[in-house]
Structure 1
Amino acid sequence: AAAALARENAGLNGAEARTTIVNGDVARGFRALGLPPFDWAISNPPFFDDPAALRAPAEGKLGAWMADDGLTAWAGFLLKAVREGGRIVIIHRADRLADILSLLSPKAGSFAIRPIQPYADQPAKRVVVQAIKTGKAPLRLLPPLILHDRAGAKHSPQAEAILRGEAGLGF
């Protein structure tokens, strides 16, 4: 279902000619796909790998929320999916930041972390982590992305610019 949705999205955005959608299983590893490593791997892994830590989501969201194979399998997959010097970008829960860094750091570095806060006066709920395979630069903690302000607009100006493709995450 996710692959079909991705194909539909590529079609709606006129990107079919430069998009390849491949079904795979993170537990089997990247090599099972028979693909060469990439320059970039971007992932939004399921946020939970412990059924006791989460009330069961709606049936249709279970696969997106609950990982059969935990964050360890996802990190291993991503590390194999990129060439040396390639970038890995993950968005995940802020409380799993230490796990993400620990799992990627044996083979990646040059971390850049952008906290994602719902409002400026609330703690980050998510983080976007960029790592470079074999990178050696010091870790950079970037300013947070604030999603909403209390002025009534749906998104903060910075978030709105990112959503409209007028700005990037600033890695």
Structure 2
Amino acid sequence: MEIDPQPEVASATQDRLLDGRIRLRQPAGGYRAGMDAALLAAACDAPPRARVIEPGCGVGGALLAAAVRRPETSFLGMERDAEAVRLAAANIAENGLTDRVLVLQGEVGAGFKALGLPPFDAALANPPFFDDPGTLRAPAKAKQGAWMAEGGLAAWTGFLLKAVREGGTITVIHRADRLADLLALLAPKAGSFQIRPIQAFADAPAKRVLVRAVKTGKAPLQLLPPLALHPRNGDKHTPAAEAILRGRAALDWGDR
């Protein structure tokens, strides 16, 4: 597929990530890369020369941030929305990463085999948070693809399990109330689970979880210390969250 490196997108904004190191064009009114993308990128621990895939990469917010954080690693983004694919390709070129970051159009529901590629060393994903349109007020049309998962969470976990080799890692950010479903769907073929709760405030329940799994892994599950994003003193972010957003720190998984 030939991708226009200068896509014309109505009401697009030019944003900066990782303390200005990344320039990101994204639609002003559609789904936009935010905190979840930043946390997912910070949680990527792929080693040098590894190959990483991110299905549902959108315009490349997490993909580019992970690539900048991991300068010796190759990344492939996959996205079903054609406009988002064009923007992602332009963002990759704008940031000078075409030598090791690519994007292609594809459907998670079609399965990993449809890509015709060998398994990757690692996969990152921020799956749509909802399966049933009746569970919430319908989002704006431009955001429906990012919020509603066709085929449900099972389609995404099935894709991720096929996308990585044995011993490869899967890192997902998702709603905390779907943690049990996520673990159950991954568990038949993955293990060595590590879970990091993400809290808006240190005294609030977690609304997000970062989950890292190893395909065919056998190590015991680890529940890691939570990350609180905002303090109660009026500052925008906690020092830990600010360091992550600026690219000065990563979300460490430790040694397994």
Range into which the TM-score falls when normalised by the shorter chain: over 0.9
Letter in 1 for 2:246: R
- The residue aligned with 2:94 is 12
- The alignment of Structure 1 onto Structure 2 pairs a total of residues equal to 171
- The residue aligned with 2:164 is 82
Unaligned runs of 5+ in 1: none
- The residue aligned with 1:21 is 103
> Cα RMSD over matched residues?
1.0
Q: Which has the higher helix share?
A: 1
SS at match of 1:73: helix
SS at match of 2:124: strand
Query: What percent identity do the matched residue pairs reach?
Result: 67
Runs of 4+ in 1 over 6 A off after TM superposition: none
- The residue aligned with 2:115 is 33
Deviation larger for 21-30 or 72-81: 21-30
Q: TM-score, normalised by structure 2?
A: 0.65
Letter in 2 for 1:163: L
- The residue aligned with 1:56 is 138
Q: TM-score, normalised by structure 1?
A: 0.97
Residue 121 of structure 1 and its aligned partner are, at CA, apart by 1.1
- The residue aligned with 1:100 is 182
SS at match of 2:129: coil
Residue 46 of structure 1 and its aligned partner are, at CA, apart by 0.3
1:148 to 1:12, Cα distance in 2 relative to 1, 3 A: farther
Offset from partner CA, 1:67-116 (integer Å, 9 cap, x none): 11100010000000000000000100000000000000000000010101
Separation in 1 of the partners of 2:100 and 2:148? Answer: 30
1:147 to 1:12, Cα distance in 2 relative to 1, 3 A: farther
SS at match of 1:97: helix
Offset from partner CA, 1:108-165 (integer Å, 9 cap, x none): 0000101010001110001010000010000010111101001222111111111111
Q: Does 1:129 align with 2:186?
A: no
Aligned counterpart in structure 1 of residue 231 of structure 2, from 135, 149, 152: 149
- The residue aligned with 1:116 is 198
Residue 15 of structure 1 and its aligned partner are, at CA, apart by 1.1
Q: Decide whether the 8 Å contact of 2:92 with 2:102 is kept in 1.
A: no
Unaligned runs of 5+ in 2: 1-82
Letter in 2 for 1:34: G
